[in-house]
Amino acid sequence: MTDAEIKALLHELCDVAARETLPRFRQRLSIDNKEADGFDPVTEADREAERAIRDVLAMRRPDDSIIGEEFDPVEGSSDYTWILDPVDGTRAFISGLPVWGTLIGLYDDRRPIAGAMDQPFTGDRHIATGGKSLLQDRFGTKIENQVSNVTTLAEAILMTTSPHLLNGTRYENVEQKVKLFRYGCDCTAYGLLAAGHVDLVIENGLNIYDIAALIPIMKMAGATVTAWDGGDPSQGGSVLAAASETVHNEAMAVLNG
C-alpha cells in the first residue's frame, strides 16, 4: 500500500466507526462488564464500531490480519496487521466525557507504520502516515502535529489516565517534579502531546490495541516513545511518551529509581 492509500483508508475507517459511536454517545445504553472481579465496561457502540471497521477491511484488505478489542483476531496472509480499539475510553464514553476515541493502528511485520485517532464529538482526527502526523479539526482545518519545545521535567505538563492504575510504582515521584499534572483523558492525552499541548504521558498495563495507533501519531510529531525501561512499547505494557528526549530521560530515571 502507498502512503496515500493508507491515509484514505484510515479516514474511511474512522468515518464508518463514527457512524456507530456518535449517535450512541450521551444516550442511554446497556452496559456489559467484561471483568468478573472488577469493572471493564463494553457497550453496543464498542461492538458495532469494531464490526463496521472489520467489514470495510474484509472488502478492502482481505489478506491482512486484524487484532481488535471486542472480537477474535483474524490471521491474514500479508505482512500487514490492523489493530483496533473502537472506543478507547469506554468509561469516559458512558460518563458523557468527550475524551474517548477510535484507535486504528497499522503494523507492517509487527512494526507500527501508521495510525489514526478519531474523536467524532469534538471533530478532532489525528492521522499519521508517511512520516507526517496531521490533526484535522471539526472545521476541516488540517495542521501538522509538532510536539512542544519543553526540554526539562520541571517545565513539563504530565498526563495519565488515573494514578490508581500506577500504585506500587514510582509514578508519584515524577508528579512531584513536573510543573502540572492532570488525569483522565485516555487516548486524548497522547493526541495533546503530539499537538504540543502536553509534554509527558505515563501509563502502564496497556494492551496492544491501547497504544498501537498512538505510537506513529506521537513519533511522527517528534516525540520520544518507549516502555518505562526504554524498550519497545508497540505490543503493549508500559509507555513513557515525552516531547523531548531530555524530558523522557529525566522521567525514566525517576520511574526506575
CA–CA distances in Å: residue 42 to residues 93, 105, 232, 249: 10, 20, 28, 36
> Going by DSSP bridges, is the β-strand pair 132-136/142-144 parallel, antiparallel, or unpaired?
antiparallel
DSSP 74-104: B--SSSEEEEEEEEETHHHHHHT-TT-EEEE
Q: What are phi and psi of 240, to 5 degrees?
A: -130, 105
DSSP category for residue 185: -
Q: Which grid cell sits at 125? A: 482526527
Residue type, 42: V
**CA 107, CA 98: separation in Å to the nearest integer?**
27
Do 77 and 59 contact (CB within 8 A), yes or no? no
Structural domains of the chain, ranges and CATH numbers in brackets: 3-144 (3.30.540.10), 153-255 (3.40.190.80)
pLDDT in tens, the chain (257 residues): 999 999 999 999 999 999 999 999 999 888 777 666 666 678 999 999 999 999 999 999 999 999 999 999 999 999 999 999 999 999 999 999 999 999 999 999 989 999 999 999 999 999 999 999 999 998 889 999 999 999 999 999 999 999 888 888 899 999 999 999 999 999 999 999 999 999 999 999 999 999 999 999 999 999 999 999 999 999 999 999 999 999 999 999 999 98
**CA 81, CA 99: separation in Å to the nearest integer?**
26
| Burial category of 56 from C-beta neighbours within 10 Å (exposed 0-12, middle 13-18, buried 19 and up) | middle
Do 213 and 83 contact (CB within 8 A), yes or no? yes
User: For residue 122, what are the contacts with CB-CB under 8 A and spacing of at least 6?
Assistant: 98, 138
User: What pTM did the predictor assign?
Assistant: 0.95
Residue 223: per-residue pLDDT: 98
Residue type, 163: P
**CA 88, CA 42: separation in Å to the nearest integer?**
10
